[in-house]
Amino acid sequence: MKSIMHYVMLATTLVLGAGMNAQAETLEVEYKRFYSHTKKLNNDDTKDLQFAFGFVNVRNPGKLCIVKSAEVVTQKVTIPLTVTPEYRFTVPTEKALKLAEAKIRIDLAENANQCDMSVQLETTESLLKTNYQASDLNNILQQYSAFFNAMGSFMSFMMPSVEGLNFQFSDPILDVVINENLRIEQGMLRLSKSQLSYH
């Protein structure tokens, strides 16, 4: 299994356009734009969640642009970031990097003007395992709910509601019928809130 993501009524892809400088196929984005997202998860209610960043291909919105490498760059140090096979990466939540005016440098295979940044909310790797108790799943669901409740405290009518969990498997073409109500399709298992109450 690769990740557990939230399942919401509306898409929650966020686009960060301002502050990007296209240099051939390399992007430099101000670290503070990532930090503004990651700091929102810096509390006990959402401690097992993280943001995974990637770039949607504007010509083919169903696919992500290929990220060849990503790194944090300051005047004194360069920190490489791990890029997943899905071409997403996470960044550390460090106020010191913001104060140092760090940049995130991303090397893309496509032309930079063909890629829009997207942000995916998912669980950290520490929660990925092959067997889950109902309490595990409900804990994950509660953390997603806590995040959206906090973000929508003043504008709740604009925020998506958490409807369940998505489990993404390593094999993107995995297709398995588990029972009449559960099926893995194209490497994704979706569990609604009502289904989670029985598993």
* Residue 189 and residue 164 in contact, taking contact as beta carbons nearer than 8 Å: no
73 part of a folded domain: yes
- Residues with Cβ within 8 Å of 99's Cβ and at least 6 positions away in sequence, in order, are none
pLDDT, tens digit, 9 for 90 and up, residues 96-122: 999 999 999 999 998 888 898 888 889
Dihedral angle of Cα 2, 149, 61, 119, to the nearest 10 degrees:
-60
pLDDT at 194: 83
Encode pLDDT of 166-190 as tens digits: 888 888 888 989 888 889 998 888 8
Average pLDDT over residues 58-86: 93
195 in any annotated domain: no
Closest CA to 92 of 107, 84, 80: 80
Question: Is residue 166 in some structural domain?
Answer: no
- pLDDT bucket at 157, cuts 50 / 70 / 90: low
Q: What is the pLDDT of residue 23?
A: 42
Residue 80 lies in a domain: yes
Q: Using pLDDT thresholds of 50, 70 and 90, give the confidence band for residue 3.
A: low
Higher pLDDT, 9 or 126: 126
Mean pLDDT of 72-81: 95
Residue 74 falls inside a structural domain: yes
Nearest to 120 by CA among 1, 15, 9: 15
Determine the pLDDT at residue 92: 93
Q: Which domain holds residue 110?
A: 10-123
**Residue 36 maps to a domain:** yes
Name every residue whose Cβ is closer than 8 Å to that of residue 43 and which is 6 or more positions away in sequence: none
What are 69's strand-pairing partners?
107
Most confident range (mean pLDDT) of 20-24, 79-83, 153-157 is: 79-83
Task: Tell me if 194 is assigned to some domain.
Answer: no
Question: How many independent structural domains does the chain possess?
Answer: 1
pTM: 0.77
In a domain, 145, yes or no: no
